Structure 1
Amino acid sequence: MLLLAASIVISLSIGTSNLPLREVWSILIHQLPFVSGDGGWDESSIVIVTDVRLPRILLAVLIGACLSLAGAGFQGVLRNPLADPFTLGVASGCSVGAAFMILFGYQTVAGIWSIPIVAFITGIITLAIVFMLARSRGAMNVETLILSGVIVQAFLSAFVSLMSTLTNDVVNEIMFWLMGSISSRGWEHTQVVLPFLLIGLPVLIRYAQSLNLFVFGERHAAYLGVDAERTKLIVLVVSTLLTAAAVSVTGVVGFVGLVIPHLIRLVVGPDYRLIVPLSVIGGGIYLLWSDTLARVAMGGREIPLGVVTALIGAPFFAYLLYKRKVVKGGAA
């Protein structure tokens, strides 16, 4: 938590308009209702800190927390460290719903909740399709599940690209979902994501011990008193809901749910009672610094956030695949 707080303050001072850490701290403190007085700062500095950078930074933390928490849920219930919203195609499924709403101008039918609702529905449908493709004779091989997710993800990404070619009016908005970004996002978007995190986190913490028992397999978990089907359904639905909330605001930001839970697992071990809450903090820190890198790495030109996370996450994904292959080869 201290690292997260320090990261937020440091990130607030980084940008095209460099602000000293001391000034950032002073501006933040003077925004508190019980602190009075005028620090004598420029109005532009106050606007940069409170209206431009702060909502974006808090949104990055929330998005990272949602995606990482969703990844922990998928990995726990599927017993596979390679599972995450991106590799299973759920993130791309959510983006299809968002792109559809934008293409036909329905993004404000239910206010700011329009896109998250539709993204959740298309994400659930995508997850069901991936499971149907992976299941054979009542069994589901984990490697086949990941392969099915990658295939569906590629198809849906191409489908979103197709929708972007159907009109010139909203092509830039749709392309936003393919690359992922937090640019031009404000306080209202944090209000969209925060409720989903506040709902999803307690639920997954509640089922953390059940996820620990899933390591032995669904049948053994059932022998130990776990309602395997109910647990799997709830965890998958909540993880998809978290993914939909994130994608509806930022577009497809891949590999966060893959990298962070795995790193947390390496540090604290396989206990999901620790992995679940620490993934929230770790995901927030990871995406915060990824977004900071995206907006300052090339000076005044911003890199799409999804590009940064893919550049980091794709090699890590390849490493996990190689490690699993080596372990299986050694066992053979």
Structure 2
Amino acid sequence: MTGFLRHRFVAFCIAGLALCLLALTLSVSIGSTRIPAGTVWAIVAHKLGLVAVTPDWTEGRQNIVWDLRLPRALLAAMVGAGLGMAGAVMQGVTRNPLADPHLLGVSAGAGFGANLAILLLGNLLGAFTVPLFAFAGALTATALVVSVAGFTRSTGSTRLVLAGLAVSFVIAAGSNVLIMLADPRAINSVVFWMLGGFGLAQWNNLIFPAFALLFSGAVFLAYAQELNALSMGDESAATLGVDVRRLRILMLTISAFLTGALVAFSGMIGFVGLMMPHIARLLIGGDNRRVLPASALLGAIFLVLADLVARRLTAPNDMPVGVVTGLVGGLFFIVLLARQRG
């Protein structure tokens, strides 16, 4: 990394962290009850015991900030960061600029697990029933894709994507059957979950997404150099000593693990993994040592702001955040296709 690029990346990180903090502040401050930013951070400092603050706010405002809005904003940031990194990795290992985490059928698997829990099982395991079944569905879908790829010897970049699409179609058909046979009164819950949202965020369900994000991010960064080599082609990477097949399967599996862990708590949210890596490469170059953390920062900022927009557009009701990301992502996808037409 040259000195100029290093300084540019450091400046990007400082600006990104500042924007992320601003986005979190806006998300917690703005709502049906507006709370000044100073009060928001005073409440946070008071709850964390960082400074001695004499409370001059109502108990209701404290509950809104600490119990409702802050966990929601943090979950949005974690999901955005994770999907951004997973998208960067998938585009790297498949060498497909249109790839994102959903291509492996992870979201379809998570959707099937969530539908199964919502429509047939109810609160079998309490509040964690839907997240656990969604996560299990995501991992099962990943295992199926890896198995299909291994069975057909389809470990090349294009054929792995095709294996993921095939498994995704099969699982989506199963989800549609569940919906058709379900009680119509439960359909609204399924539709909202499949469009994504953070309305059920609580402090006790932030632990697992945070662990998945930190673990997966560490693995991705550890293999960033190998991902750079893979971007030059399988033969070139093998010449440099990279075990291409092992690297591709490992990265896709960790990407699926991360996506499944996040989707299990947020519902299905598309296009974040497609957009953020492209914007990151445009701003700071193509080195994955920089693209991965940059994609995480951009994803966190984007999804926190998208959730804020979703909340305000139909206030006091919640619009699924997937509607906002789908609109923005669809337009981005069209622009990207137009740039790739040559």
Map 1:1-332; keep pairs closer than 5 Å. Answer: 1-105=17-121, 112=128, 114-115=132-133, 117-125=135-143, 127-128=145-146, 131=149, 140=156, 142=158, 153=168, 156-168=171-183, 170-326=186-342
Does the 8 Å contact 1:84/1:257 carry over to 2?
A: yes
Counterpart residue identity of residue 59, structure 1:
L
CA distance in 2, matches of 1:323, 1:94: 32
What CA distance in whole angstroms lies between the structure 2 residues aligned with 1:24 and 1:209? 41
Can you list the C-alpha shifts for 1:16-43, whole angstroms capped at 9, x where unaligned?
1111122212222222224334222011
In structure 2, the residue corresponding to 1:86 is in which secondary structure? helix
Match of 2:12 in 1: none
| 1:145 shift after superposition | 6.1
8 Å CA contact 1:69, 1:276 repeated in 2: yes
Rounded Cα–Cα distance in structure 2 between residues aligned with 1:250 and 1:126: 23
* Alpha-carbon RMSD: 2.6
**Cα distance in 2 between the residues matched to 1:158 and 1:311:** 24
Deviation (angstroms), 1:109: 5.2
Question: In the TM superposition, what whole-angstrom CA distance separates every residue of 1:70-123 from its partner, at most 9, and x where no partner exists?
Answer: 111111111111110124432122221232233332875598473354133233
The alpha-carbon distance between structure 1 residues 226 and 48, as it changes in their structure 2 partners (threshold 3 A), is same
Question: Deviation per CA, 1:147-176, whole angstroms, max 9, x where unpaired?
Answer: 765565455445323312322264333223
The answer to whether the Cα contact below 8 Å between 2:114 and 2:133 also exists between their aligned partners in 1 is yes
- Given residue 252 of structure 1, which amino acid in structure 2 is its aligned partner? M
Q: 1:109 to 1:52 in 2, by over 3 A?
A: closer
CA contact (8 A) 1:261 1:279 kept: yes
Q: Structure 1 unaligned segments of length 5 or more: list them.
A: 327-332
Q: Percent identity?
A: 36
Tell whether the 8 Å contact from 2:105 to 2:142 is kept in structure 1 after alignment: no
Shift of 1:300: 1.3
2:227 is aligned with what amino acid?
Answer: L
Secondary structure in structure 1 of the residue aligned to 2:52: coil
Note if contact 1:93-1:123 (Cα within 8 Å) is conserved in structure 2: yes
Of the structure 1 ranges 115-124 and 242-251, higher mean CA displacement relative to structure 2 is found in: 115-124
Out of 235-244 and 112-121, give the one that drifted further.
112-121
TM-score normalised by L of structure 2? 0.85
State the Cα deviation string for residues 189-234 of structure 1 (Å, max 9, x = none).
2112111111100000001111101111112101101111221111
Q: 1:193 to 1:147 in 2, by over 3 A?
A: same
CA drift of 1:141 comes to 6.8
Q: As a proportion of its length, which structure holds more helix?
A: 2
The answer to whether the 8 A contact 2:104-2:142 is kept is: no
Please give the secondary structure, in 2, of the residue aligned with 1:93.
helix
SS at match of 1:39: coil
Aligned length: 323
> For 1:117-144, what per-residue CA distance to the aligned partner results, in whole angstroms no more than 9, with x for missing partners?
41332331453478589x7x968573x7
Gaps of 5+ in 2: 1-16
